[in-house]
């Protein structure tokens, strides 16, 4: 029997204004999310929407029905459960899954990832995706927290499509970033949402991972009415819009909804908007070269680095001395007998800049964790630091990390766990001698020299925060958080800077400012990124292909 709701639109927003809170602005109006009332309709589950433009995440929040107050009244927004050919229960609730890919979900101590013994109730991938309870490495039962029935056939199909079936017994904490992203999508789809909202579809994924996720979302929306549902993806202007998207809504701060409708009819609007956006970014970046009026030069910021010289920074020139910062000699790493890295021999010259390449799960984080001593095999005489083999007894975790700073998705998640942390505290913690993972700041950290250096960096990078002492790190936009973490990396003038996905999720302007600054940075820089535009200029690359197979080469700047 057809459901009475069959002909109603799936989502309908009629002339609605959304407010972030009831606190009134100076003009005695609420703080609206978008300046004008919104009209928006998803007519059927078969429509595949792309939410595009600078305010895409705000619009997805609106669709998710969370956080915002709706004016004139909540009824102007409606969700109608579509008829499902296999489901005749009339009162089934409309179910939304909202997947944000910006950060890893768990925030264990970074080194915990690479250790063999995990927390007692760490989950394996299968339990995580089924979302039914906790498992333990020490007992063979599952601590169930729901009576939800799992459709094993659908589970297998989704896991297979996302290439996760072979690793379903692996602990969630041991998953690489790319594997974790696919796992989170699998978990959400297994809840069979009527509306599946996915923000930042491609962040941190290699081309194969992007294609897997894109295909599975298309598959899910094709099943609408038969176990699947409507898919809405949030994409940045520079991202490629999947071929299967049928509709687009473009949102920005000024207009709210700039245009919306069937993609095929909006090609010229899309092109024009993209061109305008690119031109405005380029105009801001050109001129001073860093797109920001600042009293300071790059040299002012880097002159206290140990490898900085008045007659030109060490950067490339320094490599001619062939002095090695690190050498990894025939490194092997295996997890429970399964090799990840094999026979890696890698020489990293002082001041050299590298792109660490390779597909999700090939061992990039594992390789870097050997340098930062987050891996149990880090005390290994095959790791040679400035000519001296690293051994237990002659180096400790703190000494090793004195020279290193890191910005990574895991570290970003740790920062956000410190909910009350101010921007200033976050920056000051960059001076800590031990691991970048430590965000605690001692009173002794507040020295005049450090505060002065922070002021210089904040000014140089045009950090747009009125008061870094009172503003909380977590209240910044993701792009600003990334910028603060980047600056935090520079402050202790490390010999080695590890930038793991540091620019994904950053707006173009600050990203180019960082890239430009790195050209002069005298220290060694290792960059992990899957997207060319997010990769700063480097001289060399190492590409991990599979255990025992890797490539080292120079990057041409033509
Ligand atoms: N403690 C562990 N136990 C078992 N397997 C592990 C452990 N840590 C990592 N792995 C596995 O080792 C492989 C390499 O992981 P790693 O995080 O180094 O990859 P990656 O190249 O950094 O991936 P991504 O680009 O997705 O971040 C993955 O298959 C991962 O699941």
DSSP 19: E
Q: Mutation test of ligand 1: which of 174, 357, 542 has the most ligand atoms closer than 8 Å to its C-beta? A: 174
Confidence of residue 335 (pLDDT cuts 50, 70, 90): confident
Reported pTM? 0.82
Atom of ligand 1 nearest to the CA of 544: 21
Rg of the chain on CA atoms, in Å: 25
DSSP 1: -
- Cα(491) to ligand 1 centroid in Å equals 29
- Nearest-CA residue for atom 24 of ligand 1: 360
ipTM score above 0.95: yes
Q: What angle do CA 332, 527, 347 make, to 5 degrees?
A: 45
DSSP 435: -
pLDDT at 374 over 90: no
Provide the H-helix boundaries in 471-507. Answer: 478-491
Residue 87 has what pLDDT? Answer: 56
All structural domains of the chain: 1-95+192-285 (3.40.50.300), 106-186 (no CATH), 298-318+398-554 (3.40.50.300)
pLDDT digits (tens, 9 = 90+) for 463-502: 888 889 999 998 888 889 999 999 999 999 999 999 999 9
Is-contact 483 507, C-beta < 8 A?
A: no
Is-contact 46 221, C-beta < 8 A?
A: yes
pLDDT at 175 over 80: yes
Confidence of residue 400 (pLDDT cuts 50, 70, 90): confident
If you search the block for the tokens 């970033």, which residue do you land on? 177
pLDDT digits (tens, 9 = 90+) for 316-330: 444 544 577 899 999
pLDDT digits (tens, 9 = 90+) for 105-139: 544 445 555 554 445 446 789 988 998 765 555 55
Half-sphere exposure of 423 (CA within 13 A, CB side): 24
List 199's β-bridge partners, or say none.
Answer: 100, 234
- Please give the Cα distance from 486 to 483 (Å, whole number): 5
Strand pairing of 48-52 and 247-252? parallel
Q: Mutation test of ligand 1: which of 206, 334, 340, 546 has the most ligand atoms closer than 8 Å to its C-beta? A: 340
């Amino acid at each position: 029997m057809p459901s009475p709701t069959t002909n109603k639109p799936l989502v309908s927003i009629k002339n609605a204004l959304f407010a972030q809170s009831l606190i009134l602005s100076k003009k005695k109006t609420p703080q609206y999310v978008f300046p004008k009332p919104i009209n928006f309709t998803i007519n059927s589950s078969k429509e595949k929407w792309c939410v595009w433009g600078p305010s895409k995440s705000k619009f997805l929040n609106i669709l998710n029905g969370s956080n915002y107050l709706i004016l004139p009244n909540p009824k102007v927004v409606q969700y109608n459960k579509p008829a499902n050919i296999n489901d005749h229960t009339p009162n089934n609730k409309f179910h939304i899954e909202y997947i944000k890919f910006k950060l890893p979900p768990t925030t264990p101590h970074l080194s915990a990832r690479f250790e063999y013994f995990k927390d007692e109730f760490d989950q394996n991938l299968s339990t995580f995706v089924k979302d039914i309870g906790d498992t333990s490495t020490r007992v063979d039962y599952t601590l169930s927290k729901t009576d939800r029935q799992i459709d094993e056939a659908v589970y297998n199909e989704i896991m297979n499509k996302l290439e996760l079936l072979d690793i379903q017994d692996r602990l969630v904490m041991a998953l690489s970033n790319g594997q974790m992203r696919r796992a989170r999508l699998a978990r959400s789809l297994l809840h069979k949402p009527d509306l599946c909202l996915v923000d930042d579809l491609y962040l941190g994924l290699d081309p194969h991972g992007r294609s897997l996720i894109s295909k599975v979302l298309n598959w899910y929306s094709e099943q609408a009415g038969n176990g699947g549902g409507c898919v809405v993806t949030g994409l940045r202007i520079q991202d490629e819009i999947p071929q299967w998207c049928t509709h687009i809504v473009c949102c920005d701060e000024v207009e709210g909804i700039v245009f919306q409708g069937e993609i095929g009819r909006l090609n010229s609007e899309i092109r024009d908007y993209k061109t305008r956006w690119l031109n405005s970014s380029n105009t801001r970046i050109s001129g001073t070269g860093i797109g920001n009026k600042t009293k300071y030069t790059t040299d002012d910021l880097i002159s206290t680095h140990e490898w900085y010289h008045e007659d030109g920074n060490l950067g490339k020139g320094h490599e001619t001395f062939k002095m090695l910062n690190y050498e990894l000699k025939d490194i092997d790493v295996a997890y429970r007998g399964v090799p990840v890295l094999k026979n890696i021999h890698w020489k990293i010259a002082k001041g050299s800049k590298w792109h660490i390449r390779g597909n999700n799960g090939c061992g990039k984080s594992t390789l870097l964790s050997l340098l930062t001593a987050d891996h149990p095999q880090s005390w290994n005489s095959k790791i040679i630091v400035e000519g001296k083999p690293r051994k237990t007894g002659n180096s400790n975790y703190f000494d090793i990390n004195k020279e290193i700073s890191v910005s990574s998705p895991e570290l970003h998640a740790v920062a956000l766990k410190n909910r009350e942390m101010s921007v200033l505290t976050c920056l000051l913690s960059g001076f800590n001698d031990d691991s970048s993972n430590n965000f605690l700041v001692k009173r002794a950290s507040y020295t005049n020299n450090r505060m002065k250096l922070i002021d210089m960096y904040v000014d140089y990078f045009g950090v747009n925060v009125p008061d870094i002492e009172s503003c909380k790190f977590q209240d910044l936009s993701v792009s600003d958080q990334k910028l603060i973490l980047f600056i935090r990396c520079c402050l202790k003038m490390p010999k080695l800077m590890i930038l793991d996905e540091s620019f994904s999720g950053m707006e173009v302007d600050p990203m180019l400012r960082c890239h430009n600054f790195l050209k002069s940075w005298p220290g060694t820089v290792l960059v992990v990124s899957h997207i060319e535009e997010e990769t700063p200029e480097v001289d060399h690359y190492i590409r991990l292909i599979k255990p025992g197979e890797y490539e080292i080469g120079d990057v041409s700047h033509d």
